[in-house]
Structure 1
Amino acid sequence: MASTLQEQLRDPDYVPPLSQAIPLGIQHVLAMFVSNFTPAIIIAGAAGFAFGGADMVYMIQMSMLFAGIATLLQTVTLGQIGAKLPIMQGTSFAFIPVMIPIVKGAGMGALFGGIVIGGIVHFILGFFIGRIKGWLPPLVTGLVVVAIGLALIPTGIKYAAGGVPLMGKEAFGAMNHWFLALVVIFVSLGLKFFARGMLSTAAVLLGLIAGYLVAIPMGMVSFDRVANAAWFAIPEPFKYGFEINLGAILAISLMCVVSAIETVGDVSGITKAGAQREPTAKELKGATFADGLGSAFAGLFGGLPNTSFSQNVGLIALTGIMSRFVVTIGALFLILCGLIPKVGALVSAMPTAVLGGGVIIMFGMVVSAGISMLSGVTWNSRNMSILAISLTVGLGLQAVPSALQHVPGTLKVLLTSGLLPVAFLAIVLNLVLPEGDEA
C-alpha cells in the first residue's frame, strides 16, 4: 500500500483530493508571489510611472495573469507546448538588468517589441535546447546568476531608502524608510528559520505584509487607488506600443538563451526531486516552448518575460508531490488575481521601503544561489580567469557607462547592461580557453 501511494505521488498525472490539492496549490503561489510581481514594479519605476499609479497596477496585474497562463501551458499543455509537469512560471528577475536600460534609453514600446520577438526566439530554442545546453556548464550559469544578483542589489538599496527620491533628497534615506525595510527583513528571517510549513515557505510575503501593516499607522500608506480600482478588467493589447528596436531585440533574445537553460535546470530538478529520474527530451522541449510562447504572449499585453521558478522546485522536493494538478490550481488562482485590478492596487499601495526590505533578501538570495552553483567548480587558474574577466568587464561597464560614450547607441545598451557582457565573455572564454592539467 505504501509503495502504491509513493508511486502515485511521483506521478505527474496523479490527482490528489481537493482538500489536499487546494492548500498545496496556494502554497506554490505563496512561494513565488512576491518574486513574480517585483520585476513589474521595478520596470514601471524605471519607466517613470507613479508608484501606486494606474500603469504600475496594470503591470502587476499582467505579471499575475500571464504567470498563471504560462503555468497552465506547462501543466495542461497545448499540443507539444508544455512539459506536462508541475512547473510554476513567473516573471523573470534575470531580464531586469537588460530591461532597465532599454526602458530608459528606448522606451516601453521598444521593450515590449523586444519581449514579443525575444519570446518567439525563445520558442525556437526549444528545437535546439539539447545542443546549446553544453554551452552553459555550472561555471557559466553560476557566473550569470551571481551577476544578476549583483546587478540588482543597488535597486534593492534604493527602494529600502525610499525609492527614487521623487519626494526630495532629504526624505530619501530617512529613518522611517529604513525602519520599514528592517521590519520586513527581520520578520522574514525569523519566519524562515524559526517557523515551519507555510509560515516558513511564505516568509518573505509575510514579512512584506508585516511591513505593510506597520506602515499604515505611520501614515505611509494610501488606499485611495484601491478604492477606485475596478473589480474586474481584461488586458489591453499593445497598451504600451510595439516598436522594433534592434538593441532591445538582441538584448532580450540573448537573455532568452540563459532563461532557456535555467528552465532546463528547473525541469531536471523537478523530475529528480519528484520522480527520481532525468527529464525526457520531449519534456525539455515542451517546457522551453511554453517558456517562449508565454513570454511572447505576455509582451503583447504589457507583461514581462516569463520563466520557470526555482523556489517551486524546492517545494516539490519538500512535499514529495509531483502532481501537475496541484500547480494547475495555483495557476488558476494567479489568473483570477490578474483579472482583479483591486489586487494589483493593493500591492502597489505598498511603500517602496517595504518592498525594498523584501528585494534586498530576494536579490541577495540570487547571489547566494549563483555562489552555490559555483561551489562545485574546480577553481584552477583557467576558471578563476574566466570569472575575473567576465565579472570585472561586465559589471565595470555597467557601473561606468560613460566609458562607452563614443560607442553607437544599440551596442552601448548591450554593453552597459552588465549581464550580457558577463554571459558573453563567460561563454566564449569557456569555449576558447583550453582545459589543461594543473599542479
Structure 2
Amino acid sequence: MPPTIALLVGFQGAVLVVAPTVLNVAIAIRSTGPDDTFLTWSVFAAMVICAATTALQGSQLWRFGSGHIALAWPAAMFIAIMVAAISIGGPAMFATVMVICSLVQIALAWWLPVLRRIITPVVSGTVTMLVAVSVLPIAFDAVQDLPDGTAPAAGPAIAGVTLLVSVIATLRATGRWRLVAPLISILAGCAVAAAFGVLDGDRIADARWFGIPEVPSLGLELTPTREFWALLPTFAILTLVLGIKTISDGVVIQQGSRRLPRAIDFRQIQGMVSVNGIAMFLAGIAG
C-alpha cells in the first residue's frame, strides 16, 4: 500500500476511535469524582494504549497480534463496574483488578477451544445487555451534572438531542457515515450545549494541543480487601465476555480481509485476544 493511502486510512481510523475512547473514559471518571488531573491523564493514557494496541494487532509476534487492522478503544461494558470499583476502593483497587483480569484474558487465548463451549454467544449477549442496563443510572445522573445557574431544561435537552441524532445517524446513515455516528451526535450535543451557555469555550481554547499531562498519584492495591474479592468475580466474568466478543470480531475481520473464502485461522484469533490482555495490563499499570 502506498504511504499516502496508508496515512489517510490510518487517519480515518484514528478519527473513528477518538470519540468512543474519550467518551467512555470521561463518563467513567466523571461519575467517580476524581479531579481534572486524573481525567486528563486517563484520557491520555487510554489514547496511547489504544494506539499501541492497534499497532500490535496489525503484526504477529509469537502468539500476540492478529495480523489484521483491528482498531482498539475502551470497552463500554466496564463503565459501571469501574465506577463501583473506584467509588469503593479508589483508583488503586481498580488498577489492581485490571492487572489480574489481564491474566484472565491471556489465559482465555490459551484455553480458547474449551471456553468457547462454555461461554456461548447467548451467554455473552445476555451479560452485555445486563451491563448496558447497569450503565443507565450513571447516564441519568450525568444529565444533571451542570454548572450552577444553568437552566433546568439544559441537561435533558442536550441529552435528548444527542441521543436523537445518534439514533437517526445509526439507523439511517450508511457506509462511512454510520461509523462516525457517535462523533456526529457529540457535535450536535455540543451545539445545543453552546446554545444554553454550558459549553466552556475558554477551556477548549486554552488547552494544549501537544504534550504530556501531569501524572496523578498512581499505585496498586497490594493488600486485597473484602471489597476487592467481591468485585473480582464480576470483573473476571466481564473479561471473559469481552474475550468471546473479541473472538467473534476476529472471525468477521478475517472474513472481510480476504477476497476468497478461507478457513478461519484461530492462531490469529488467539493473538488478537492475547493483545487485549496486554492492553488491560497496561491500563492497570497506567492507573
- Separation of aligned partners in 1, 2:89 and 2:116: 32
- Separation of aligned partners in 1, 2:11 and 2:136: 29
List gaps (5 residues or longer) in structure 1.
Answer: 1-14, 303-439
The answer to whether the aligner puts 1:177 opposite 2:159 as a matched pair is no
Kindly, what percent of the aligned residue pairs are identical? 19
- Separation of aligned partners in 2, 1:232 and 1:69: 18
The 1:218/1:232 distance shift into structure 2, 3 A limit, reads: same
Q: Verify the 8 A CA contact 1:184 1:210 in the aligned structure 2.
A: yes
- Separation of aligned partners in 1, 2:207 and 2:171: 39
The answer to whether the aligner puts 1:140 opposite 2:123 as a matched pair is yes
The answer to whether the aligner puts 1:260 opposite 2:243 as a matched pair is yes
- Separation of aligned partners in 1, 2:84 and 2:219: 17
Q: Verify the 8 A CA contact 1:66 1:294 in the aligned structure 2.
A: yes
The residue number in structure 1 matching 2:176 is: 198
- Correspondent of 1:96 among 79, 103, 111: 79
Q: Verify the 8 A CA contact 2:37 2:214 in the aligned structure 1.
A: no
The 1:235/1:79 distance shift into structure 2, 3 A limit, reads: farther
- Separation of aligned partners in 2, 1:225 and 1:249: 38
The answer to whether the aligner puts 1:85 opposite 2:68 as a matched pair is yes
- Correspondent of 2:166 among 170, 188, 195: 188
Q: What is the aligned-residue RMSD (CA, Å)?
A: 2.6
Q: Number of residues paired by the alignment?
A: 279
Question: Which deviates further from its counterpart, 107-116 or 277-286?
Answer: 277-286
The residue number in structure 2 matching 1:293 is: 278
- Separation of aligned partners in 2, 1:166 and 1:36: 24
SS at the partner of 2:257?
A: helix
Deviations 1:271-328 (A, max 9, x none): 12332344323112211211101110121112xxxxxxxxxxxxxxxxxxxxxxxxxx
The residue number in structure 1 matching 2:210 is: 231
SS at the partner of 2:113?
A: helix
The residue number in structure 2 matching 1:162 is: 144
SS at the partner of 1:95?
A: helix
Q: Verify the 8 A CA contact 1:113 1:249 in the aligned structure 2.
A: no
The Cα of 1:64 is off from its aligned counterpart by 1.3
The residue number in structure 2 matching 1:64 is: 47
- Correspondent of 1:213 among 180, 191, 216: 191
TM-score (structure 1 length as normaliser): 0.58
- Separation of aligned partners in 1, 2:280 and 2:60: 15
TM-score (structure 2 length as normaliser): 0.85
Larger Rg: 1
- Separation of aligned partners in 2, 1:32 and 1:257: 23
